[in-house]
Amino acid sequence: MLEKVEEVQERLKSKLSNKRFIHTIGVRYTAAALAMRYKVSVEDASMAGVLHDCAKYFSDEDLIKKCAKHNLDCSDIELRNGFLLHSKLGAYYAKKKYGVQNEEIISAVRYHTTGKPGMSLLEAIIFTADYIEPNRKPLAHIDEVRRMAFVDIDEAVYNILDHTLDYLGESAKHDRSGREIDTHTIDAFVYYKKIHDEKFIL
Ligand SMILES: [Fe+2]
Ligand SMILES: [Fe+2]
């Protein structure tokens, strides 16, 4: 399987920008480290990490066109915010272009941008690794999220979602950069906030 990961990585090197490729390697090894911590297959995490942004080289417009071509349903929010579709198209490519059959890996690619309620460990690992990998621009709270990722993955996911949404919480419609929030992200926030509250608020 690791040979297959290397092969996919090599193919992506010529597709992705240098910056995106370096980020991809960062996600691969961060996901592998988290997989060791949470007893998930290191190979699966490496593959999902390498593939997570495999469709992130199209313009928003082209992402919409490609999804239409492959009959991938797009929500109104996705049509207004085409970048969200790199996850959906990426999951499709993981299967069709890169020959991945493991549905868990495909799903981890599918939900790496928005998250969703009740993520599997692999999904949560890729969602988190995408946010904390070493090449990410340092954000004010990143050190705490990086540490928490190796202590309590649910809490790390909650912290990421909490920082992604503005302080309006579940009624938020836009993230801190003013981008529209996908409903999966809001649902995920509600789900992980409940876990957080049960743990920390008596
Ligand atoms: Fe992405
Ligand atoms: Fe990414």
With left for phi above 0 and alpha for psi between -120 and 50, is residue 169 left, alpha or beta?
left
Write the pLDDT tens digit of every residue in 37-95.
999 999 999 999 999 999 999 999 999 999 999 999 999 999 999 999 999 999 999 99
Say which residue the tokens 């490496």 belong to.
46
Give 165's strand partners.
175
Residue 59, token pair as written in the block? 């313009």
Domains of the chain and CATH, by start: 2-200 (1.10.3210.10)
Query: What pTM value is reported for the model?
Result: 0.94
Separation of CA 83 and ligand 1 centre (Å): 8
Burial of 18: CB neighbours in 10 Å, binned 0-12, 13-18, 19+: exposed
Separation of CA 70 and ligand 1 centre (Å): 19
Say which residue the tokens 């969602």 belong to.
127
160 vs 200, higher pLDDT: 160
Is residue 9's pLDDT more than 90?
yes
Ligand nearest to the CA of 86: 1
* DSSP-derived 3-state class of residue 137: coil
Measured distance CA(39)–CA(57) in Å, rounded: 32
Separation of CA 202 and ligand 1 centre (Å): 36
Instruction: For helices 18-38 and 2-13, give the axis angle rounded to 10 degrees.
Output: 160
Separation of CA 201 and ligand 2 centre (Å): 32
